[in-house]
Amino acid sequence: MMQVIPIPAFTDNYIWLISNEERKHAAIVDPGDALPVIAELQRRDMQPIAILITHHHRDHVGGIGQLLQTWPGLPVYGPAHEAIQHMTQPLSEGQQVNLEPLGLSFTVMETSGHTAGHIVYYGEGSLFCGDTLFANGCGRVFDGTLHDLYHSLQRIAALPAETLVYCTHEYTVDNIGFAKWVEPDNPALDARLEECWELLDSGRPTVPFELGREFDTNPFLRTHIPEVIARAEEIAGRETHTPEDVFAVLRIWKDTEYD
Q: Looking at 25, 60, 148, 245, which residue is catalytic?
A: 60
Residues 20 and 1 sit within 8 Å (Cβ to Cβ): yes
60 is in an annotated binding site: yes
57 is in an annotated binding site: yes
- The Cα–Cα gap between 186 and 191 comes to 9
Is 59 a residue of the active site? yes
- The Cα–Cα gap between 199 and 193 comes to 10
Q: Looking at 33, 59, 148, 245, which residue is catalytic?
A: 59
- The Cα–Cα gap between 49 and 17 comes to 11
Task: Say how many residues make up the chain.
Answer: 259
Is 57 a residue of the active site? yes
Is 224 a residue of the active site? no
147 is in an annotated binding site: no
Q: Looking at 30, 131, 148, 245, which residue is catalytic?
A: 131
114 is in an annotated binding site: yes
Distances (CA, A) of 98 to 101, 106, 130, 144: 9, 7, 19, 28
25 is in an annotated binding site: no
DSSP code at position 75: -
Is 60 a residue of the active site? yes
DSSP code at position 34: H
What residue type is assigned to position 228 of the chain? V
Is 118 a residue of the active site? no
224 is in an annotated binding site: no
Q: Looking at 25, 56, 57, 118, which residue is catalytic?
A: 57
- The Cα–Cα gap between 153 and 242 comes to 15
CA nearest 57: which of 122, 142, 166, 171? 142
- The Cα–Cα gap between 139 and 131 comes to 5
Q: Looking at 25, 56, 114, 118, which residue is catalytic?
A: 114
Is 169 a residue of the active site? yes
Q: Looking at 25, 55, 56, 118, which residue is catalytic?
A: 55
CB neighbourhood size of 182 (10 A)? 25
Is 30 a residue of the active site? no
Binding residues: 55, 57, 59-60, 114, 131, 169
Active site residues: 55, 57, 59-60, 114, 131, 169
What residue numbers does the annotated binding site for Zn(2+) cover? 55, 57, 59-60, 114, 131, 169
